[in-house]
Amino acid sequence: MTDHTRSATPFRVAALQMVSTPDVARNLAEAGRLIAEAAGDGAQLVLLPEYFCFMGHRDTDKLALAEPYRDGPIQQFLAQAAQRHGIWVIGGTLPLKAPEADRVLNTTLVFDPSGREAARYDKIHLFNFEKGDESFDEARTIRAGETVVTFDAPFGRVGLSVCYDLRFPELYRRMGDCALIVVPSAFTYTTGRAHWEMLLRARAVENQCYVLAAAQGGKHENGRRTWGHSMLVDPWGEIVAVRDEGASVVTGALDPQRIADVRQSLPAWRHRVLA
C-alpha cells in the first residue's frame, strides 16, 4: 500500500452541519458564519453539507438556481471564503447546469487556501427511496456523474463522495490510497438513524483512513427532516467528534501517525486477494 500521507503533522479539519432553507442568501450567510467559526478554531480544511446552499420545496426548484460551471455567486462565495480564511473549503454540493434543461449536476467543488479551484466531483450514485409517505428519486432532476475524483492536500490524498455514494464501497476502492474521505450528505432521518454511523465507520475501517462527514441535520422549512450527526471517524473506526442535530461545527485532528499505526498493525490493504 503506497503511503499518500505526506506530512506527519496533525491537520485540523471541520465538518459544518446545517439546516438549509429555500433562501440561498440566508444559507450562504449561515455557511459563512460556520466557516469563520471553524477557521477561528484552527480548522485548516472545512467541509460543507450536501445542498448547503439550497433546500427547496420541490425537487425541480434547483433547476432555476443551477449555475454554469465556474460562473455564479455560490461558486464565488466558496472561492472567496477559502481565500479570506486561508483554508481548504470543500463546498458540499451545489447545482450546476447539465446538458439537459430538465437536469442539474449535483457537484462538489474544492478550493485551496488561495481560492483556486482544486477539484470537481459530480455525484455518481443517485438516491432512490420509497417507504410510507417518503419518496425520493434524484434521477428525476439530477444527471449522474461518471468520474471518481481525488485531490492532493498537504496531509495526503482526499477522496470525494456525496451522500448515497456512501453505500457503494467499490467507489472508495477506486480512489486508491487516501488519507481522508469526505462525505457531504443530506441523509433522511429514516435512513440515517438506521445506517449512517455504521456506513461511515465501515468506510473508515475498510480504507484505513479518516472519514469526514458533513450533514444536513434537523427539520427544514420544506417539511423534510434530515438525520445530521456530522462526524469525524478515524482509521480504526472510532468516532473522534460528532454533533447530533442543528447548525454546528464538528472539529478534530487528522493525525497521519494514527493512519500509519493502524496500517502497520493491521495491513489489511496489502492482504487483498480480489483487488
CB-CB contact of 204 with 233 (8 Å): yes
CA distance 95 to 184: 14
Q: Which of 185, 97, 187, 183 is nearest to 141 (CA)?
A: 97
**Which listed residue (50, 67, 138, 245) is catalytic?**
50
**Which listed residue (30, 53, 62, 123) is catalytic?**
123
CA distance 113 to 89: 8
**Which listed residue (53, 67, 163, 245) is catalytic?**
163
At 166, list the grid cell.
456512501
245 is catalytic: no
163 is catalytic: yes
Phi/psi at 175 (5° precision)? -70, -20
CB-CB contact of 218 with 228 (8 Å): yes
123 is catalytic: yes
Q: How distant, in Å, are the alpha carbons of 22, 55, 137, 140, 227 from that of 58?
A: 10, 9, 12, 11, 19
CA distance 114 to 128: 37
Q: Which of the residues are catalytic?
A: 50, 123, 163
